Amino acid sequence: MAFARWHTDFARWEKSPGSPVCQVDLDVDRFLHARLSALLPDAGWLSEETADHPDRLACGRVWVVDPIDGTRDYIRGRAGWCISVALIDHGHPVIAVLDAPARGEVWRAAAGRGATLAGAAVHAGTRAVFPGSRVPVDALPKADRELVAVEKPNSIALRIAMVAADRADLVATLRWGNEWDIAAAVLIASEAGARVSDALGAPLMFNKADPRAYGVLVSAPGIHDAAVHHLAARARAAIG
């Protein structure tokens, strides 16, 4: 549905300054809600494009969905977007799909069963030295000049998946982010052998009353501790 309407004329606007949305986001959201709720009628629902309801907190299982992650790229006709779907079971993602039709990529993972891209197993890299680590960014700040910039899709989920497939070594954000942005991608990364945490190195949990976390840090396992140390001062300063 999203791919068929990509590069066509559709309504688009900003929910808030710098936060674009389009009619396709809403249509995909309704489609997924209907299909996934039919699969698991007892599961709760948390989506970027659906008003949140506290009823989900009483559910053991919850669908966490971003109908188009990377809407800015979708609107601009760029390929760096995907549909992100995760099933959360008592706070932990257990099933994940990232569908990126503009890139010809479908990523899947199930807890304890590994992660795949186009049906083939993916594995995070074995990098053990922090300097020279590949990071999907537009430009590196002076404090990160020891790192190496690589392709950056607008979708944070796709950037995390790059670590799962050894296309990047590190993805880190230093801001409050929403569960629907990362739920599917962090399962794919962890099942591929990457290490996953918030920006301060703490474990991530999902289906919280406030469905946010301070940053996400996904990396090749051998550099995760160094990455947390490298970002710690900035992270603590940002959250006070």
Q: What is the CATH number of the domain that holds 40?
A: 3.30.540.10
Query: 129 lies in a domain?
Result: no
Tell whether 157 and 226 lie within a shared domain: yes
pLDDT in the model for residue 240: 78
| 25 annotated as belonging to a binding site for a ligand | no
Same domain, yes or no, for 113 and 6?
yes
Whether residue 14 lies inside any domain: the answer is yes
Q: What's 149's domain CATH number?
A: 3.40.190.80
Does residue 73 have a known ligand-binding role?
A: no
Beta bridge partners of 74: none
Residue 128 lies in a domain: no
Residue 117 main-chain phi, psi, to 5 deg: -125, 120
Does one domain contain both 148 and 94? Answer: no
Single out the residue in 86, 121, 156 at which a domain terminates. 121
The 10s digit of each residue's pLDDT in 36-48 is: 999 999 999 999 9
What lies within 8 Å, CB to CB, of 211 at 6+ separation is 46, 52, 64, 178, 179, 180
pTM reported for the whole predicted model:
0.97
> Does residue 127 form part of some domain?
no
The predicted structure's pLDDT at residue 47? 98
Domain of 181 in residue numbering reads as 134-239
Is there a binding annotation on residue 69? Answer: yes
Q: Per-residue pLDDT tens for 187-218?
A: 999 999 999 999 999 999 999 999 999 999 99
Q: What would the two tokens of residue 13 be?
A: 């606007």
Q: Is the dihedral of CA 224, 193, 165, 3 positive or negative?
A: negative
d(CA 115, CA 165): 9
Q: What's residue 90's pLDDT?
A: 98
User: Does residue 12 lie within any of the structural domains?
Assistant: yes
Do 141 and 93 fall into the same domain? no
Q: What is the separation of C-alpha 37 from the centre of its chain, rounded to a whole number of angstroms?
A: 22
Q: Is 42 annotated as a binding residue?
A: no
pLDDT of residue 239: 85
**Does residue 17 form part of some domain?**
yes
**Domain count for the chain:** 2
Q: State which of 64, 89, 121 marks the end of a domain.
A: 121
Residues 97, 45 share a domain = yes
- Residues 104 and 171 reside in one and the same domain: no
Residue-level pLDDT at 50: 96
Q: What is the pLDDT of residue 60?
A: 97
DSSP letter, residue 135: E
Question: Does the annotation list 179 as a binding residue?
Answer: no
Q: What is the pLDDT of residue 75?
A: 97
Domain final residue pick, 99, 121, 143: 121
Counting as low any pLDDT under 50, the low residues of the chain are none
In this prediction, residue 184 carries a pLDDT of 98
Domain assignment of residue 79, yes or no: yes
Same domain, 184 and 100: no
Is 138 found in the same domain as 116?
no
> Same domain, yes or no, for 147 and 207?
yes
Same domain for 166 and 190: yes
Q: Are residues 81 and 140 in the same domain?
A: no
Rounded-to-integer distance, Cα 223 and Cα 24, Å: 38
Would 126 be classed as within a structural domain? Answer: no
The answer on 104 and 159 residing in a single domain is: no
